[in-house]
Amino acid sequence: MNWADSPVVGARSSWAPVVLAVLVAIPLAIGLAAWLTRRRRRASWGHDWAARSAWAEVFMTVGTLPWLCLTLLPSDQPRDANLVLFRDLSQQVQTGYAYAVVQIGGNLLVFAALGFGMPVRWRVGPLAALLVGALGSTAIESLQWVLDLGRYSSVDDVLVNAAGATIAAVLSRPWWRRRIGPVSVRSVTGGRGSAKSARSSDQDVTVSV
Domain boundaries, position 171: 3-182
Read off the pLDDT of residues 144-184 as tens digits, 9 standing for 90 and up. Answer: 999 999 999 999 999 999 999 999 999 999 999 874 433 44
pLDDT band at 199 (very low <50, low <70, confident <90, very high): very low
Establish if 13 belongs to a structural domain: yes
Q: Could you read off the pLDDT of 37-96 as tens digits, one per residue?
A: 999 999 999 999 999 999 999 999 999 998 998 899 898 899 999 999 999 999 999 999
- The answer to whether residue 66 is domain-embedded is yes
Mean pLDDT for the stretch of residues 119-130: 96
pLDDT band (50, 70, 90) for residue 13: low
Model-level pTM? Answer: 0.79
* Alpha carbon of residue 137 to chain centroid: 12
Bridge partners, 199 (sequence order): 184
Helix axes 97-109, 7-14, angle to 10 degrees: 20
Q: Is residue 193 part of a domain?
A: no
Q: Is residue 145 part of a domain?
A: yes
